[in-house]
Structures are given as structure tokens and as C-alpha cells.
Amino acid sequence: MDNEFIASATEETIHGVSGFEQQIGPGLKDLAKLAEKLGRLKKIGGQITVMNLLDLRKQLEDVGRLSFEAQALAEEVSGKLARYAVALESTDQTEWWERFRKAFHSGYPPVEGEFPTFQVFPVEVRVDFANELVMINNRTVRALHPEAVAALVEKEWDRLNRERFNAASFAKALVRAYDLLLLELKDKAGGRDPGRAIPLRTLHQTLALKSGVSGYSLNQFAFDVYRLRRSPHMVVDGRRLDFGTSRNRGIVITHPGGRQENLGSLELIPEDQAL
């Protein structure tokens, strides 16, 4: 595990998710209760037109007392927060990781990778405790509780899977890039047959350059391939898109349930020759 962000140890430091919940959590609950009571006193403004002096005296006493209690409690919680570090020891990282991994509901792909960078395909996650933030794809979030982060990752995964995807357009773009690269290979081969399989990583580079879209990552490309293969648009102009498997330097697709595919190349096969 990456320990670069672990804080310097001191006797007084509160650390870890459990430390936050056990030592800071109760104070936050008490503050929430006081805030709720103070909120109920907002009707004090109605005394302008009611002038129930007996109630008004009681309300003012309550405001003063609750405000004093809230200030004292807020100072106590602030003092503890000043001594808090999310990860002080390697066990804190392990706790965070395990609680994050177990927080996902069924039906989502498994968490892959090593702390602090991992993915729930196709969502990429990077935890940065030193700067008190988490990156979910290209979005910065400030929530640090593992269960809150897992909920945000699920939300992003749901959004991506609901997002409209033009499979036919993507298939045609793949075919155009494939034909272009195949011509280049034939030129370099000097008339020799270079074969018909084009590496998917090369196709991704070509698409990223031609689209002019900044940040079209290999992971996003893999997700588009995943969605294309689930669509009815696997034949373009009489040629079937055939994705070949690979043991190295391919794109990895993780299905809900955990099954993985490592796809390495694309080959266009005339439909009458396809199996």
C-alpha cells in the first residue's frame, strides 16, 4: 500500500474512520440535536405581531442557553478535528479500503487495483488523503468516508450506464480508423500481407487524436467497446467487428459479477465468412 500520505504520529492524534466515528461522531450528533432545537425557535420572529410576552421571555432564554451549549460543543468538536488524520497508520488505510470495498451493493463490478488508485469499471477512483479529496473519474469530491465514496461511485456508474450511447456511430468510427491503420500497415509491409488484426490500443490512440477530445482515456474507450458489443451494431457495411482476446497489453473489461475479458485486437471479417 502507498504510505506517502500517512500523517506524522503524535499521542494525541485521532485517526482512522473508526476514530472519527467514535470520538468526533457523538459530538456531531449532539450538535445536530441542538441545531434542530434552535431551528424550532425560528417562530420567535412571529412575536413581532403576537406579543406573547411570557412565551417570548422563555424563547429568549432558550436561544441563549442553546447557543451557549452549541458554541461550547462546537469548540470541543473543533479541537478534536484539529487533531484528526484520516490515515495515521497503515491499519487506517486497510480499514478504509475494506469498508469501501464492502459498501457496494450487488450488481456492481468488483473493486480492482491497489490503494490509493483503483476502479469499479469503468469508474476510476483515486484517494488523496493528504489533500482531503477523492477523484472519481475527473471529478473532485470532498467526502472521505468510505461508504460515502462508494455511494458516489455507484451514482457515477449508474449515470454512465444510463447515458445515451450511439453504438452505430462508434462502430463506424472504429471501422474508419481500422481501414486507415490497415492501409498504413500495408504500405509499411511493402506489399506483404500484414494481417487483418489491428491492436485496440492503436485504435484508441487514433480515435483520440482524430476526435480532438481531450481526455478520452483508454478506460473510456474500453467502456465504449463494452457497450458496442452489447448492441446490435456489430456489422458495418457487410463486415463484422471481431474483437480478439489477448493476454497482454489489451483493454480489460470487467463485467458486473466480476468476469473479466482482456481484448487485444479488432479484425473486420466479411459477414458471409464470419462464424
pLDDT in tens, 190-201: 766 667 889 999
Q: How far apart are the first and last CA of the chain?
A: 46
> What does the pLDDT look like over 240-270, one tens digit per residue?
999 998 877 789 998 887 888 999 999 999 8
Cα 52 to the chain's mean position, in Å?
Answer: 54
pLDDT at position 185: 85
> What does the pLDDT look like over 15-34, one tens digit per residue?
999 999 999 999 999 999 99
- What are the residues whose beta carbons fall under 8 Å from the beta carbon of 180, sequence distance 6 or more? 206
Report whether pLDDT(225) > 90: yes
The radius of gyration computed from the CA coordinates of the chain, to the nearest angstrom, equals: 28
- Name the burial class of residue 215, with classes exposed (0-12), middle (13-18) and buried (19+) by CB atoms within 10 angstroms of its CB: exposed
Q: What is the mean pLDDT of residues 59-75?
A: 92
Q: What angle in degrees, to the nearest 10, is found between the helix axes of 200-211 and 218-229?
A: 110
Tell me the pairing of strands 14-15 and 84-85.
Answer: parallel
pLDDT at position 275: 60
- The cell for 2 is 502507498
Domain locations along the chain: 14-85, 103-162, 167-270
Q: Of all helices (H) and strands (E), which one includes residue 25?
A: helix 25-40
* pTM reported for the whole predicted model: 0.79
